[in-house]
A and B are shown apart, each in its own frame.
Chain A
């Protein structure tokens, strides 16, 4: 294979995709030649434009809906579906044919990610797609868009860095890598989005970053995108006398983002209109949401603006008579967004988890608590000991600290264009720090909130070649399989569950864990399922460690894993003792194999992404 000329960063986001590249041949030391990649896409039927972002929407039109040729792309293909701006536009009028938030579905444990389930609300005649297939279509579009502009350097011959939320579990990472493989990406690396944002900051600082942080710093990256909130902690460490970065912790997967905020604001505006006796239909509510987003970005950036009008155009051609007008005040926006999503809470606050009602409609598991600051408090509280083992941190958090004390903060994601939301987050954090006698956290400035992840990912492709600082850290969880204890069964009681550690915390890419001494039994010719667990706080467990009990929140159950032992040359039904070995691939996915006691053969153990329940 040819040596890659470009490192290409792809931010495959919940609401939009962005692509950037670094020219590896022309870049030298701190002179990094980097560009965003314009993405040609349909912006209207039969009209193609270059945009820097590709909205992550897939529209499945009715065969009679568009004129022939309306979906033709510049590279000549004429698919029966469309992605990007046109998909979003058409979908705003016909939501039953629109696939959105495919990425959130990709990590939804209760559904089969390979089954055609999207759009959920689609009538039977619409040929649905799977969350995996939707992701593949976005990646195909990005691939074709690149190849169209760079026929001399096909994408598949370049090094591709695809970003994933830090909170993605092993199964969701595996599915992302599977989607990439289906498109033909074979020089692929996965990178966590908050890390990509920090790489972008490092690059933007023009190699001056070493003067802006010091040994012992803990950088909190808060990435609030359109659909998700992603948290990471990155410590500034030292190796051989020079500063290094180590990602020490990542947060839970929180489905809470800018779209929720815009919708909340739209409901405020809708309630005001309802008082005046104006009711809105679905289309108008969407237009209102759009207007509210614009109003938010004005009101939460410039404090001197007291009110911003929000208008909903009429649907028909009579614009003047039919346009609905209201306005949002600074106070309303502050009340709804700042207090609603970034409330003043204490450091010991925790997100409320309402019990789910028994009959939930099939939908995404949105965060039950909208308070980003409460999720942040929970994250920092859980990670109090995250830096304890690092050299240069003098035993981690100070005595009596009830949460991990970040010393610097980096914001990312379009939500923080409404800058007062970032200011509030910083104020809340600094209040927590002050209460425990710690100095306030500094703001790391200079990242482009929308494009940082893609550009940071491309830059990572460059530093991977040893030309800049790398963020280390490896896997952010330790992993366990559930094993039944050997205790005699007691009627009416669940047999006690033990978990066996098979992958320690912090496994680097391209490494393999040791084989645990314990064996489990596989049945020949039958799929055998194991319960699978992860912990983002148990940093010291080694392969073979068996836990009989743990604190709540310390270990969380993930999707089951499944091993299939082929019947060749064995008696079906026979039980074969095997040991489970974990490895982290070069791509960055976790791989599990079953290794029998003797014999060199091994079998792959799969993550179950069929949504068992």
Chain B
């Protein structure tokens, strides 16, 4: 990433601004202190807000969903297998199990719909204030909204999640129990 080097006058304004905010805003001061120690990526150093700590996502529901995909669609079995030794026909046969089962699991537990309703390839206009997390701009990203571009991928959005409720103490790290036939 290359950024334009600011001019002297810009730097002067910035220095005065930083001086004042370091004095009055303790959070800002913390960021400046880090910057001075060379820890550039320790936190958001944008001169706007207090630093945001990244949150850990709880692995529980991820493991739960993985378990469901394995249970119905043998998802983990499929990914854990070395596919290089098999023919496309063999992989295709197994892929049907995975596709059918995983699809059923998704439909049962998540409501997924496209972010954009337009067909892919359509021209779309993004008005000012569009949701940047729901629409990713690519290519010749210049100028100001409204942006006009071609919809390359419709995106997917989960509108509802219905994961099974778990009893206290349920071990979600067991994606599939070992099976022993007596």
- The interface of chain A, by Cβ under 8 A from chain B, is 40, 43-50, 67, 69-70, 72, 74, 93, 294, 309, 311, 313, 315, 317-321, 323, 325
Closest chain-A Cβ to B107's Cβ sits at a distance in Å of: 13
Q: Is the CB of A317 within 8 A of B166?
A: no
Chain B stretch 57-92: residues in CB contact (< 8 A) with chain A = 64, 67, 71, 74, 77-78, 80-81, 83, 86, 90-91
- In angstroms, Cα B170 to Cα A43, docked, is 13
Task: Determine whether the beta carbon of A309 is less than 8 Å from that of B96.
Answer: yes
A281, closest chain B residue (CB) = B181
Any A CB within 8 A of the CB of B164: yes
Contacts of A48 in B (CB 8 A): 164-167
Interface residue B169 (Cβ < 8 Å from any Cβ of A): yes
Q: Report the separation of the CA atoms of residues A318 and B67 in the bound assembly, to the nearest whole angstrom.
A: 17
What chain A residues lie within 8 Å of B129 (beta carbons)? none
Query: Does B94 lie at the interface of the complex (its beta carbon under 8 Å from any beta carbon of A)?
Result: yes
Beyond A45-B170, A317-B77, A325-B96, 15 extra complex contacts between A and B, CB < 8 Å? A44-B71, A44-B164, A47-B164, A49-B162, A50-B162, A69-B167, A69-B168, A294-B100, A309-B96, A313-B97, A318-B77, A319-B78, A319-B94, A320-B86, A320-B94
Which residue on B lies nearest to A313, using beta carbons?
B97
The A-B contact count (CB < 8 A) is 76
Within residues 131 to 182 of chain B, which ones have a CB less than 8 A from any CB in chain A? 162, 164-171, 176, 179, 181
Please give me the residue from chain B that is nearest to A287 by CB atom: B97
* CB-defined A-B contacts under 8 Å, sample of 8: A47-B64, A48-B164, A69-B167, A294-B100, A313-B94, A317-B80, A320-B83, A320-B94
Are B170 and A320 interface neighbours, CB within 8 A?
no
- A70 CB to closest chain B CB (Å) equals 7
Between A48, A294, A309, A311, the greatest number of chain B beta carbons within 10 A of the residue's beta carbon is seen for: A311
CB atoms of A70 and B78 under 8 A apart: no
- Provide the bound-state CA to CA distance between A159 and B139, in Å: 64
The reply to whether B164 and A49 form a contact with Cβ atoms under 8 Å apart is yes
Task: For the complex, give the distance between the alpha carbons of A406 and B64 in Å.
Answer: 53
Q: Least Cβ distance of B133 to chain A in Å?
A: 29
A294 to B100, CA, bound (A): 10
A320 surroundings in chain B (CB, below 8 A): 78, 81, 83, 86, 90-91, 93-94
Residues of B within 8 A of A (CB): 64, 67, 71, 74, 77-78, 80-81, 83, 86, 90-91, 93-94, 96-98, 100, 162, 164-171, 176, 179, 181
- The smallest C-beta distance from A92 to any residue of chain B, in angstroms, reads 12
- What are the 8 tightest A-B residue pairs by CB atom distance, in nearest-first order? A47-B164, A46-B170, A325-B93, A319-B77, A46-B167, A320-B94, A49-B164, A72-B167
Q: Closest CB of chain B to A91's CB: distance in Å?
A: 14
Given contacts A313-B97, A325-B93, A46 and B74 within 8 Å (CB-CB)? no
Residues of B within 8 A of A45 (CB): 170
Give Cα distance in the complex from A417 to B71, angstroms.
Answer: 26
Are B81 and A318 within 8 A (Cβ)?
yes
Residues B170 and A69 in contact, CB atoms below 8 Å apart:
yes
* Nearest CB on A from B75, distance (A): 9
Contacts of B164 in A (CB 8 A): 43-44, 47-49
- Measured between alpha carbons, how far is A70 from B164 in the docked complex, in Å? 13
In the bound complex, do residue B165 and residue A311 qualify as a contact, i.e. CB atoms below 8 Å apart?
no
Residues of A within 8 A of B83 (CB): 320
Closest-by-CB residue of A relative to B89 is A325
Q: Is the CB of B81 within 8 A of A46?
A: no
Q: Name the CB-closest residue of A to B70.
A: A317
Which residues of the partner chain A approach B81 to less than 8 Å between Cβ atoms?
A: 317-321
The docked-state distance in angstroms from the alpha carbon of A371 to that of B170 is 48
Q: How far is the CA of A480 from the CA of B167 in the complex (A)?
A: 55
Question: B2 to nearest A CB, angstroms?
Answer: 47
**Chain A residue contacts of B168, Cβ below 8 A:** 69
CA distance A43 to B165 in the complex (A): 10
B170 A311 Cβ-Cβ under 8 A: no
**Which residue in chain B gives the minimum CB-CB distance to A48?**
B165
- The answer for the CA separation of A315 and B77 in the assembled complex, in Å, is 11
Contacts of A315 in B (CB 8 A): 179
Question: Interface centre among A48, A294, A317, A325, by most B CB within 10 Å?
Answer: A317
Chain B residues, CB < 8 A from A93 = 179, 181
A274 to B53, CA, bound (A): 61
* CA of A457 to CA of B64, assembled, Å: 37
The interface residues of chain A lying within 8 Å CB-to-CB of B100 are: 294
Chain B nearest CB from A407 CB (Å) reads 40
Q: A69–B74 Cα gap in the complex (Å)?
A: 26
Out of A43, A70, A321, A325, which one reaches B86, CB within 8 Å? A321
For the complex, what is the distance from the CA of A3 to the CA of B86, rounded to whole Å? Answer: 67
Are the CB atoms of B93 and A311 closer together than 8 Å?
A: yes
A39 to chain B, nearest CB (A): 13
Contacts of B67 in A (CB 8 A): 44
Task: Please report the C-alpha to C-alpha distance between residue A317 and residue B67 in the assembled complex, in whole angstroms.
Answer: 14
Residues of A within 8 Å of B162, CB to CB, are 49-50
Is the pair B97, A311 in contact by a Cβ cutoff of 8 Å?
yes
Residues from chain A with Cβ under 8 Å of B170 in the complex? 45-47, 69-70
Q: How far is the CA of A315 from the CA of B181 in the complex (A)?
A: 11
